Amino acid sequence: MTTNPIRWKLHWQILLSLVLTILFGAWILPHTSEGFSAGAISFCQFIGKLFMNALKMVIVPLIVASIISGVMHLGAEKGVGRMGFKTFAYYTFSGAAAVIIGLIVVNIIQPGDVNPETATAMLGSGAETSVSQGLMSKVEGRSSSDLFDIFLRMFPANIVDAATSNGQLLGVITFSILFGAFIGKLKPAQRETQQKFWESAQEVMLLLTDFIIRFAPIGVFGLVVPVIFETDLGDLFGTLAWFFITVLLALTLHFLISMGLVLKFVAKVNPITHYKEMAPVLLTAFSTASSSATLPLTIDTVEERAGVSKKTCSFTLPLGATVNMDGTALYECVVVLFIAQLYASTGQVALGLGDQLLVVFLALTTSIGVAGIPAASLVAIAVILPAVGLPVEAIGVVWLTDRILDMCRTGVNVFSDTVGAVAIAATEGEKPYQNLED
């Protein structure tokens, strides 16, 4: 590896940027004057927002061009239904595996099994946090009926309005799939014109994405420094240490074991190769905490580094960024059971096996059903808590760790999307990483 950082591969540049954010945000800024630190944070927030806006700018046109282009090719081969079935089967399996791992780990570690005084203090503090941070206003009125809203979001009344909101990507995806499918109904000359247009549009969007991603190390620095500076690491690794460790351990097990098995036995590729090649995607997902914002880089990386065809990437990855939320589902399960354990420590009845299985089911379904809603994880947890007899106000208990863990679970969400794309490509007769492993 060259000694000039500018010539390093993207993942090394992003990793260096993350190291510098820790040094700057945790050790340098706290020892500067209040005026300097405030100015530095404002500048970092500006840089971070500029980078996120640039990424979000290309999401909708990239999704539309990619899906329409991909569905056109699938339609020509009569493969839309087959690939759609495989895609949703994978999402169901990976999500279920993640939630079950979360259930097992939280029951083994028992992070909420503390003395009654500590549990009471944490729950009381959590209720106060829910009020002070305005969490209740974000989840007010949410219930299990919100799960049915996913079908309404699939068919927005105004597709232009849906396209202007990154929270309504499901409607954009549905429209793009239908548009691409019905291009196949056109006369040959018209169909060929459409194919050339959308394929060239996709190429332009990928070139624009490549340009924006060159600035990822700078954008990552701007995004992460305020998070590091504003997080009280002492409290984070104090009362909530075991909860934090439980979530990270469960995410790591799913990341390494579940995904590794799929790569080895379904995709027939070396898991280590995939982990290494997806490093830029993982680091960007961690830094942005947004599956949608990472999508442009995800598509580009899976195509270029994994050798997956455009038609497969164009169909599976945009859909995965919207509805495949392994890390989120796992997190919801662990949070609800952690809160239940805290209440059990105060003398209330612990959740039985039936209630825990209900949590598993709801965590899996709500991770899909609330995708795209602002504060999606909070909304999903607010749906699950009352279903098992726990107060919604307790959600404030985990607020302190939510931002850091959001970054971690987003990395798992996006990585699962890449694994799904490679696995589905392999079942479609493609040979991912053939050029790398030959």
Q: Per-residue confidence of the chain (438 residues) as pLDDT tens digits?
A: 556 666 677 888 888 999 999 899 888 988 899 899 999 999 999 999 999 899 888 888 988 988 888 788 766 556 667 888 899 999 999 999 999 999 999 999 999 998 888 888 888 876 666 555 555 555 555 555 555 666 777 788 888 887 776 556 778 888 998 898 888 888 889 988 998 999 899 889 888 988 998 899 999 999 989 988 876 655 555 668 899 999 999 999 999 999 999 999 999 999 999 999 999 999 999 998 888 889 889 999 999 999 999 889 988 998 888 889 999 999 999 999 999 999 999 988 788 989 999 999 989 888 875 554 545 677 788 888 888 889 888 888 888 788 888 889 999 999 999 999 999 999 999 999 985 554
What is residue 150's predicted lDDT score, i.e. its pLDDT?
65
Q: Which amino acid is at 190?
A: Q
Residue 426 has a pLDDT of 95
| Per-residue model confidence (pLDDT) at position 278 | 96
CA 272 to chain centre: 21
Whether 422 and 274 have beta carbons less than 8 Å apart is answered as yes
Question: Vertex 364, ends 360 and 366: CA angle to 5°?
Answer: 115
Cβ pair 313, 70 in contact under 8 A: yes
Q: What is the pLDDT of residue 438?
A: 47
CA-wise closest residue to 21 among 224, 268, 198, 275:
224
How far apart (Å, rounded) are the C-alpha atoms in residues 107 and 333? 11
CA distance 361 to 219: 37
By the 8 A CB rule, do 334 and 250 touch? Answer: yes
pTM, two decimal places? 0.85
For position 84, what pLDDT does the model report?
A: 84
